[in-house]
Amino acid sequence: MKEMQKKSQESHYYGEFGGQFIPETLMTALNAVSKAYDKYKDDPDFLDEFHTLLRDYANRPSLLYYAKNMTEDLGGAKIYFKREDLNHTGAHKINNVIGQALIAKRMGKTRLIAETGAGQHGVATATIAALFGMECEIYMGKIDTERQKLNVYRMELLGAKVHPVTSGSMVLKDAVNAALQAWTKRIDDTFYVMGSAVGPYPYPEMVHDFQSVISKESKQQILADEGRLPDAIVACVGGGSNAIGSFAQYIDDKNVELIGCEAAGKGVDTDQTAATIERGSTGIFHGMKSLFLQDKDGQIDKVYSISAGLDYPGVGPEHAHLAITKRAKYVGITDDEAVDAFEYIAKTEGIIAAIESCHAVAYVRKLAPTMSKDKIIICTLSGRGDKDVAAIAKYRGKDIDE
Amino acid sequence: MNKLEEVFKNKKAFIPFVVADDPNFDETVANVLTLADNGADIIELGIPFSDPVADGPIIQKADLRAFSAGVNTDVVFDIVEKIRESTQVPIIFLTYTNIVYKYGYENFCRKCSELNISGLVIPDLPLEEQDELREISDSYDISLIQLIAPTSGKRVAKIASQAKGFIYMVSSIGVTGKREDFSNELGSTIEEIRKVTNVPIAIGFGIHSVQQAKDLSQIADGIIIGSAVVEVINKGENLAKYSQLISSAI
């Protein structure tokens, strides 16, 4: 019996990372999510509904776009963009939300709650709640509500109630705390739609599975376009949902380099950073054992990035495992580099990409010229950048009305 | 018999909760001694955490005051060392997994043992994740206190069968903080626990009034009061009197 329990516990882990470190009040609810996910993840009716919604509502498959201008300008590897920014609601977040909301519906839940950083996950959750006729409440750090006002209004338009979180440092980490607390208060009718590949099992696995549509498509698309696999996949990493989705189908293809781009803020070696994998250490927080920015006593650090979506002190357990086992490489990109990339991709390719995604674009600018012209990079544009235009203008000293 | 279980042998236990270093070192020591002298049977001492997901606003604010005073895990051990100069009242720690993990499970338990700490309450360490720590805490005779919630359902018997010291019965869903109503399931959950274990049961979360303590002590072996005690301390009210009132009501 103990052996069986141990075995089932091991399946909740990626190497040493993962687990279910959550208050007892939530354990029954979490186990119910886990049981429902196990039941439906291979169920043909569930998968059919999921893929139909991805196709007919979210606008999938997303394009794999050959960035000819950037490729020529950088003079190295061929650059492709996986255009998650073209999804309905403007980001990869919709893939995961459709999946989780379908599970919630099958569990008989009528209310969705979620945390959000930049607002894209909140908008996606509010959208699907509207589509499914479900009640929706979103928790967002007060500072993030101020820097992403447009997304707050968008959520409200979609019928969601947005709670500005005033505890802690008032950003994404605190929004997760508040959403977890809100879940403990109303378990019976509520499903917590987690926005990234973080949290207690089964969330990292669910998010991995729902987001893996990104790499399933990109693999088919690149094989059709180039007749071979890419040499590198590049994606930005906060909690890591678009990155894990971008990596998923390539993890066993050892010749494909996987590169996650973290937000280094003012610099990896400063105290204003969110570069968790480079600067963090193993800890236990938000339901998971993973890598976190924290002090020697285990108090979680305040983190900083220009990008609200990457402003998180931890990373999903699967990324921690990929980093420790060296299957993936993680690099820090500063605010300056991300803003430069934001302007660069706009001018060279006519794409205004999310500041989060521009962390990945910034690394591609460094990487492509070091590779020969017969090499291929796929970079995921996780979201569109409309929400960031005013912030970038401000960063450059221009004041514009949103 | 386990040293915590002995406390419950002839009486219902009053277990007040104090945040270590709120508002400072000396006052924490003084407050614990006041409680110990005025009817408290076990003291629950909180080691502050930056992100206490199981705690409501009153305890969150107390944690912030403690951080302002410069609290860290070693300071909390120093506070207990000072307390131990005057009393051997049973003390248990409440903290979150990461605090214990970062100190090192072995180092943390050794230090607890040196200071005669009887138990650990760790709200974000459910049964499934306890094996590694429990093996070490057991070897130092420190009880890893099991929490059971009104939502535990089928988990109740499994959790209760692992219990040592006492069972922390969560009075209602949600986070810590004052409440007027408690779960309707409380009585039946307690009955279910008693079928599988003789380990005493203390109820916590939301209890603040003397009447509530009196009523709930009818079905339990002990009463845990957190936010209300923290508030009495923060408002500078008479802690000795409050402690006596609760203690004599249960």
Q: What is the pLDDT of residue A167?
A: 86
Percentage of residues in chain A with pLDDT exceeding 90? 89
Q: What span, in angstroms and rounded, lies between the C-alpha atoms of B227 and B243?
A: 14
Neighbouring residues of A376: CB distance < 8 A, sequence distance ≥ 6: A77, A78, A80, A222, A226, A228, A230, A231, A232
Give DSSP secondary structure letters for B18-56.
Answer: EETTSS-HHHHHHHHHHHHHTT-SSEEEE---SS-TT--
**Chain B residues touching residue A284 (CB < 8 angstroms):** 97-98, 101, 124
Decide if A297 and B72 are in contact by the 8 Å CB cutoff: yes
Q: What is the pLDDT of residue B185?
A: 79
Average pLDDT over residues B165-192: 84
Decide if A23 and B126 are in contact by the 8 Å CB cutoff: yes
Percentage of residues in chain B with pLDDT exceeding 90? 88
Residues of B with catalytic roles: 44, 55
**Chain A residues touching residue B126 (CB < 8 angstroms):** 20-24, 27
Q: What is the pLDDT of residue A1?
A: 47
Q: List the single residue in A23, A28, A168 with the smallest CB-CB distance to B155.
A: A28
Q: What is the pLDDT of residue B182?
A: 76
Task: Flag whether pLDDT at B181 surpasses 80.
Answer: no
User: pLDDT by residue (tens digit) across A374-402?
Assistant: 999 999 999 999 989 988 999 999 988 65
Positive or negative, the Cα torsion across A86, A92, A96, A97? Answer: negative
> Would you give the end-to-end CA distance of chain B in angstroms?
23
Can you give the residue ranges of every domain in chain B?
12-144+204-248
Q: What is the pLDDT of residue B212?
A: 92
Decide if B54 and A23 are in contact by the 8 Å CB cutoff: yes
Q: What span, in angstroms and rounded, lies between the C-alpha atoms of B199 and B221?
A: 9
Helical H segments across A41-92, by residue range: 44-56, 68-74
**Chain A residues touching residue B122 (CB < 8 angstroms):** none
Q: What is the pLDDT of residue A5?
A: 59
Q: What is the pLDDT of residue A383?
A: 97
User: pLDDT by residue (tens digit) across A260-295?
Assistant: 999 999 999 999 999 999 999 999 999 999 999 999
* More confident position, B53 or A78: A78
What is the pLDDT confidence band of residue A358, given thresholds at 50, 70 and 90? very high
**Chain A residues touching residue B53 (CB < 8 angstroms):** 23, 177, 180-181
User: A178 to chain B nearest CA, in Å?
Assistant: 8
User: A338 to chain B nearest CA, in Å?
Assistant: 29
CA B120 to chain centre: 8
Task: Return the CATH fold of B12-144+204-248.
Answer: TIM Barrel (3.20.20)
Q: What is the pLDDT of residue B1?
A: 66
* More confident position, B175 or B160: B160
Decide if A24 and B159 are in contact by the 8 Å CB cutoff: yes
Decide if A300 and B153 are in contact by the 8 Å CB cutoff: no
Of residues A139, A175, A176, A150, the one with CA closest to residue A90: A150
* The one-letter amino acid at B175: V
Mutate to test the interface with A, among B59, B63, B102 (most CBs of A within 10 A): B102
Helical H segments across chain B, by residue range: 3-7, 25-37, 57-68, 73-84, 97-103, 105-114, 131-139, 156-160, 186-196, 210-217, 227-234, 239-249
What is the pLDDT confidence band of residue A4, given thresholds at 50, 70 and 90? low
* Chain A residue with Cα closest to B56: A181
The residues with which B8 forms a beta bridge, in sequence order, are none
User: A67 to chain B nearest CA, in Å?
Assistant: 43
Residue A188: how many other CB atoms lie within 10 Å: 11
Residues of A with catalytic roles: 93, 115, 382
* Chain A residue with Cα closest to B176: A181
Residue A8 burial class via C-beta count within 10 angstroms: exposed 0-12, middle 13-18, buried 19 and up? exposed
Strands (E), A238-387: 257-265, 281-285, 287-292, 328-334, 376-381
Query: Which is it for strands A232-237 and A376-381: parallel, antiparallel or unpaired?
Result: parallel
Q: What is the pLDDT of residue A7?
A: 59
A387 in Cβ contact with A148 (< 8 Å): yes
Read off φ and ψ for residue B166, nearest 5 degrees: -160, 165
What is the pLDDT confidence band of residue A11, given thresholds at 50, 70 and 90? confident
Average pLDDT over residues B86-104: 98
Q: What is the pLDDT of residue A400?
A: 80
Q: What is the pLDDT of residue B102?
A: 98
* The one-letter amino acid at B222: G
Chain B contacts to A (CB-CB under 8 A): 49-51, 53-54, 57, 60, 67, 72-73, 97-99, 101-103, 123-129, 131, 147-155, 159, 170, 173-175
Residue found under tokens 């990896």 = A268
* Chain B residue with Cα closest to A8: B128
User: A193 to chain B nearest CA, in Å?
Assistant: 17
Q: What span, in angstroms and rounded, lies between the C-alpha atoms of B34 and B18?
A: 12
Sequence-separated contacts (24+) of B241-244 with Cβ below 8 Å: B241/B38, B243/B14, B243/B16, B243/B34, B243/B35, B243/B38, B243/B39, B243/B40, B244/B38, B244/B39
pTM (2 decimals)? Answer: 0.95
User: pLDDT by residue (tens digit) across A104-147?
Assistant: 999 999 999 999 988 999 999 999 999 999 999 999 999 999 88
Q: What is the pLDDT of residue B93?
A: 98
Q: Residue window 11-40, chain A: list those with CB within 8 Å of chain B.
A: 19-29
**Chain A residues touching residue B101 (CB < 8 angstroms):** 283-284, 298
* Chain B residue with Cα closest to A26: B151
Rg (CA), chain B: 16
ipTM confidence: 0.95
Neighbouring residues of B203: CB distance < 8 A, sequence distance ≥ 6: B169, B171, B186, B216, B219, B220, B222, B223, B224
Average pLDDT over residues B131-138: 97
Name the average pLDDT for chain B.
Answer: 95
Residue found under tokens 């915590």 = B4
Q: What span, in angstroms and rounded, lies between the C-alpha atoms of A289 and A205?
A: 14
Residue A280: how many other CB atoms lie within 10 Å: 22
* Chain B residue with Cα closest to A188: B151
Cα–Cα distances in angstroms (integers) from residue A257 to residues A15, A247, A333, in the given order? 20, 9, 18
User: A139 to chain B nearest CA, in Å?
Assistant: 14
Least confident stretch, A254-258, B2-6, B19-23: B2-6
Task: Flag whether pLDDT at A6 surpasses 90.
Answer: no
Average pLDDT over residues B115-132: 97
Decide if A185 and B153 are in contact by the 8 Å CB cutoff: no
Residue A49 burial class via C-beta count within 10 angstroms: exposed 0-12, middle 13-18, buried 19 and up? middle
Q: What span, in angstroms and rounded, lies between the C-alpha atoms of A248 and A214?
A: 8
Q: List the single residue in B101, B125, B147 with the smallest CB-CB distance to A298.
A: B101
User: pLDDT by residue (tens digit) across B226-240?
Assistant: 999 999 999 999 999
Q: What span, in angstroms and rounded, lies between the C-alpha atoms of B18 and B23?
A: 10
Q: List the single residue in A28, A284, A285 with the smallest CB-CB distance to B152.
A: A28
Decide if B102 and A283 are in contact by the 8 Å CB cutoff: yes
Would you give the DSSP letter of residue A191?
E
